[in-house]
Amino acid sequence: MFKLDRKLIISASVAATVALFAVGCGGGNTNTSTATNTLNGKVTIDGGVVYPVVNDKTGPYYVNTNIPANINNGRVPTANELKAWNKDVMPDGTGLPEGSGSVEDGEELYEAQCVMCHGDFGSGGGGYPSLSKGNAVEMQKTLTNNRWKDPEADGPVRVFGSYWPQVSTLFWYIKDGMPHPFSKSLSTDETYALTAYILNINEFEIDGEEVDDEYVLDRAKLLKVKMPNVDGFEPNIDGPNGRDNVRAYYANPTNFGALKVKYEDRCLKDCQKDSVKVRYIQNGGIKDFLPPMDSTRNLPVEKEVKVDPVKEYKNSCAMCHSSYLSPGSAEWAGYLTKGMDKVYANAIHGTEGGMPAKGGTSLSDANFKTVVDYITTGKVK
Ligand code: HEC
Ligand code: HEC
């Protein structure tokens, strides 16, 4: 989902009540007379935000053309300075240096420089990301798991192997950013070795060959890696049509999750009417809408399933209640004189005489009471 606060501007009348949204909006002043939304005739769009263009330059929300002279804006970096930082490694191999490294060496490096944060075999832990959860192809299948539909279900597993669309990013990430905090300290061959090791623990195959403990990775082989989730993203941003794909995608509001819902149907309950109006920056294309008052996501309330009291008795109560205080037996008379409310309460909280709380079950009060009704009368209501 998108971060709404980055994409929205707010009508001036409500800016004070929802100041949070206004951060970075420059007062929503995107429609200055000099600003346009196109550059060389193309809409300037990134992540759904249409950027204003002033003097042929894009700015996210606000372009300040009146910079006071006493503010030091630094200087333009030299070509060499740029070269030192511009180390992008692209899926087509651009920026990927020649070199090689083995899984074996990678494992050694990993044990020395990575394991303390990323855990044994990339298992993660202590807030540091896992680098593997097992077989990448199998893990990729979990991405469609949906806990919204079934709160008990396992969620999607998003790690490098299951989730990332391009292997080049792995090499790039390690070479550029790891090991934290000594980034850029690894040689090219060391980076190949670590990449090989991470492919190994994610159980990759390259060209039909398993990346096993003996495997030696090099540039040509790395470029043959097929990531299982390469087609799992939309829109397709790769290749020369990438930008146009993005433009087309965001030009169609029904591609935005939030806007798939019809305007009239957006509000669930107790929504503010007309008090807060939020609109997308894009002129014309996307309609105003009212956000729901509560933006927190709660898990769906579980609908209680009624249990069968007889079955529940057999499973959870009979081991103690089959000979004494059995369903409907005469012994209950003495217990019931104190009134059902007290009986329920005793049974729910347990008694010193040996009745465990709720008989050791995790039934809801309502369900548990139906079992008490059954056990005390021998009848199902
Ligand atoms: C001191 C802790 C630390 C060490 C040591 C470390 N990392 Fe990391 N690593 C991190 C943190 C923190 C992140 C997440 C950074 C973020 O998400 O912004 C990360 C992210 C990564 C990722 C991206 C994972 C993902 O799914 O987003 C890779 C790959 C990685 N590290 C590889 C390595 C390798 C290889 C080494 C050893 C050479 C290493 N790291 C050493 C802390 C560490
Ligand atoms: C581990 C044995 C055990 C299990 C399991 C057990 N009970 Fe009991 N239960 C007892 C004993 C012993 C008493 C008598 C306690 C007393 O007199 O304080 C009792 C008492 C009760 C009472 C009377 C409480 C009162 O003081 O008024 C109810 C009602 C009851 N059980 C219902 C259930 C139900 C329903 C289940 C199954 C969901 C269940 N019990 C499972 C041992 C058990």
| Ligand 1 neighbourhood includes 194 CB (under 6 angstroms) | yes
Token readout for 67 is 């910079």
Amino acid type, 129: P
Query: Does ligand 1 come within 6 angstroms of the Cβ of 113?
Result: yes
- Which of the listed residues 168, 180, 182 should we mutate to test ligand 1's pocket, taking the one with most ligand atoms within 8 A of CB? 180
- Are the beta carbons of 13 and 28 closer than 8 angstroms? no
* Phi, psi at 174, each rounded to 5°: -65, -45
Centre of ligand 2 from the C-alpha of residue 332, in Å: 11
Inter-CA distances, 377 with 88, 316, 327, 341, 359, Å: 76, 17, 6, 15, 17
The pair phi, psi for residue 229, each rounded to 5°, is: -105, 20
Report the candidate in 20, 24, 30 with the shortest Cα–Cα distance to residue 280.
30
Residues 246 and 291 in one domain: yes
> How many A from CA of 186 to the centre of ligand 2?
66
Residue 120 domain-assigned?
Answer: yes
What CATH number is attached to the domain comprising 342? 1.10.760.10
C-alpha triplet 85, 88, 89: angle, nearest 5°: 145
* Range 241-248 contact pairs with CB under 8 angstroms and sequence separation of 24 or more: 243/42, 246/45, 246/46, 247/42, 247/43, 247/45
Cis peptide, bond prior to residue 60, ω within 30 of zero: no
Residue nearest to ligand 2 atom 11, measured at CA: 355
**Residues 36, 123 within the same domain:** no
Using CA atoms, how far residue 220 sits from 45, 51, 97, 105, 217, in Å, is 35, 39, 10, 19, 8
Q: Are 218 and 107 part of one and the same domain?
A: yes
Same domain, 297 and 321: no
| Tokens, residue 229 | 């989730």
Per-residue pLDDT of the chain (381 residues), as tens digits, is: 333 333 333 232 232 222 222 233 333 334 344 677 888 888 877 766 777 787 777 765 555 667 777 877 788 889 988 887 888 999 999 999 999 999 999 999 999 999 999 999 999 987 899 999 999 999 999 998 877 677 777 888 999 999 999 999 999 999 999 999 898 899 999 999 999 999 999 999 999 999 999 999 999 999 999 999 998 888 887 778 888 888 888 777 667 654 444 555 555 666 555 444 444 444 444 444 444 555 566 666 667 789 999 999 999 999 999 989 999 999 999 999 999 999 999 999 999 999 999 999 999 999 999 999 999 999 998
Distance CA 195, CA 110 (A): 10
- Residue that finishes a domain, picked among 263, 285, 303: 303
Ligand in closest contact with the CA of 201: 1
Q: Report d(CA 46, CA 235) in Å as an integer.
A: 12
Q: Are residues 128 and 210 in the same domain?
A: yes
Residues 203 and 272 in one domain: no
19 lines ligand 1 (CB under 6 A): no
The answer, yes or no, to whether any atom of ligand 2 lies below 6 A from the CB of 359, is yes
End of a domain among 303, 319, 334? 303
Domain that holds residue 191: 92-222
Q: Six-digit token pair at 164?
A: 């990332």
Ligand 2 centroid distance, CA of 346 (Å): 9
Which residue is closest in CA terms to ligand 1's atom 12? Answer: 128
Cis ω before 327 (30° cut-off from 0): no
Q: How many domains does the chain have?
A: 3
User: Is any ligand 2 atom within 6 A of the Cβ of residue 137?
Assistant: no
Whether residue 364 sits in one domain with residue 282:
no
Residue with CA at minimum distance from ligand 1 atom 43: 180
The answer as to whether 234 is a domain residue is: no
227 found inside a domain: no
Same-domain pairing of 271 and 298: yes
52-60 own/partner pairs: CB under 8 Å, 24+ apart: 60/24
Could you identify the residue written with the tokens 């899984």?
Answer: 103
Same-domain status, 119 and 184:
yes
Q: Are residues 65 and 179 in the same domain?
A: no
Ligand nearest to the CA of 377: 2
Shared domain check, 314 and 299:
no
At residue 175, φ and ψ (nearest 5 deg) are -65, -35
Q: Which of 166, 193, 222 is the last residue of a domain?
A: 222
Instruction: Note whether residue 277 is domain-resident.
Output: yes
Between CA 105 and CA 111, with CA 107 as vertex, the angle to 5 degrees is 120
Residue 230 within a domain: no
Do 190 and 214 have their domain in common?
yes
Ligand 1 close to Cβ of residue 116 (< 6 A): yes
The residue count for the chain: 381
Distances (CA, A) of 56 to 61, 72, 317: 15, 23, 77
- 354 ligand 2 Cβ < 6 A: yes
Ligand 1 atom showing the smallest separation from residue 179 Cα: 41
